[in-house]
Amino acid sequence: MPEEKQLDAYQLNVEGLQIQVRIAQGKDDFVPLYVLSITNISEGTKLILEKIREKFISEVQIGKVELVGLEHVEELKEKFGKEVERLIKEYLPSISTETRTALINYVIQQNIGLGYIEIILKDDSLEEIVVNGASEPLWVYHKKHGWLKTNIYMESEDQIRHYSTMIGKDVGKAITILTPLLDAHLVTGDRVNATITPISNFGNTITIRKFSRKPWTIVDLLKNKTLTYEGAALIWLAMQNEMSILIAGGTGSGKTSFLNVLCNFLPPNQRVISIEDTRELQLPRTLHWVPMETRMANPEGKGEVSMLDLVVNSLRMRPDRILVGEIRRKREAEVLFEAMHTGHSVYATVHANNARETVVRLTNPPIEIPKLMLPALGLIVIQHRDRRTGKRRTLQIAEVTEDGEPNVLMQLNVRTDTLEKMNDSKTFVNNLMLYTGMTMEDIKKDLDEKSLMLQAMFRKDVTDVNQTGLILARYYTQGIAFR
């Protein structure tokens, strides 16, 4: 056996299946391996399960492709679960109820569900699951170890296409030769992109971006050193006083997670409208929140509900705060900046790597917002991911001056890994004083109080989004500071 170094190992329990995950670096491998094994199903039992699978398919007289024609995968699992249970009792009569349940789930998973992909989806350490074709193993992106090759292969290109079709069917979308690209999501909220040959040259592909089961909170960012107390307090002050904030960063830098964290600071007595392509935001229950999602056109080209449609519609819903997943096009940006100028607070994400690049991106095609409209933004927050280390950090917190130029207030010192003060404020503080009547002393006192509260939340490990919302609701409505 080739020499290898074990990097990590842990257990998962997936619907009664005991899963062992081992991450190892082979001597001659450039990429570590993610090795998955089911420890409570023996090879002999797997052979029996294969016979059960064959009998199951022949007795119900339905094959994989026809399964797609039925309404929903979850309905299929329930419908055929009893039939699989009968067959398992026939072939394996002496096993315990617990083991039988695990085997039923395994057979259903492998034949009606997404097979081993469903098992990998239960690993909370993973951010991305990638199928590049049947000729190579699945890849995963691990929060700690980065990209890893797995020991799992798809049976065939047909199986990959079947999975894509099944995922699309469940959300009313199709992937065909005429429409070879699919953007969808699983019932769990995980985002899915699929392509089929010949668009993807080496085979059919599936890319799954995992939806965070536990929404990020401000304490999570403080624990991960993404943000400092001082930086968090400054952003909280802006949120409390209804200043609009734009979150920028590269792909995978944590923009949406940061947007979710911003929502921790929203007061409970204001109406919040969120607009996303696929819903990822998870806000505290204390908030008055209306989530909305875009919809693609059907195969006949009808029924589309675009981001612009929802942004325009949201302004008719008496919103106090508007959250937008991502600004991509000129018209969307124009409507949002118009909303800012008419007194609405807007929070959105955009792709850009630093504060200056954000201004350049906003003021040039395809977004092309007039530079003099940019001061409506209270702050620009830049998120950054170091691909070598996997660390996500707030790179900059900047304001926009009256002439539309960025002024960086705080910036990451990469050497010390801390967010440090850069420049004095030219507009942020003046606007606070103008609209709230606060003095410089009041602002400093408020920032200190917020910093102390955040430290108390950190000490008591408040990482539940609803508990965070409750603490903030008491602070806003009753003046009770958490200590």
- When mean pLDDT is compared across 93-107, 141-155, 164-178, the lowest value belongs to 93-107
Taking alpha carbons only, the member of 478, 475, 444, 479 closest to residue 457 is: 475
In angstroms, the Cα distances linking 250 to 212, 358, 401 are: 19, 11, 24
DSSP class of residue 81 equals H
CA distance 92 to 295: 46
Taking alpha carbons only, the member of 195, 169, 209 closest to residue 76 is: 169
| 123 within 8 A of 36, measured Cβ to Cβ | no
Residue 263: both structure tokens together: 């929502």
- Tens of pLDDT along 154-198? 999 999 999 999 898 877 788 999 889 998 888 888 889 999 999
Percentage, residues of the chain above pLDDT 70 = 94
| 250 within 8 A of 351, measured Cβ to Cβ | yes
Q: In this model, does residue 75 exceed pLDDT 70?
A: no
Between 468 and 85, the more confident residue is 468
Between 66 and 137, the more confident residue is 137
pTM > 0.85 = no
Longest CA span, the chain:
79
Taking alpha carbons only, the member of 137, 138, 134, 88 closest to residue 108 is: 88
In angstroms, the Cα distances linking 396 to 26, 375, 377 are: 39, 17, 15
Write down the residue that tokens 């991911």 correspond to. Answer: 385
Phi, psi of 436, deg, nearest 5: -115, -20
Contacts of 213 (CB under 8 A, 6+ apart): 124
Amino acid at 478: Q
| 411 within 8 A of 422, measured Cβ to Cβ | yes
CA distance 163 to 121: 14
Between 411 and 79, the more confident residue is 411
Rg over alpha carbons for the chain, rounded to the nearest Å, is 25
Exposed/middle/buried for residue 3 (C-beta within 10 Å: 0-12, 13-18, 19+): exposed
DSSP class of residue 372 equals G
Q: Three-state DSSP class for 387? A: coil
Q: In this model, does residue 313 exceed pLDDT 70?
A: yes
Domains defined for the chain, CATH in brackets: 4-209 (3.30.450.380), 218-478 (3.40.50.300)
Contacts of 435 (CB under 8 A, 6+ apart): 241
CA distance 44 to 27: 32
Q: What is the mean pLDDT of residues 348-361?
A: 96
CA distance 24 to 34: 7
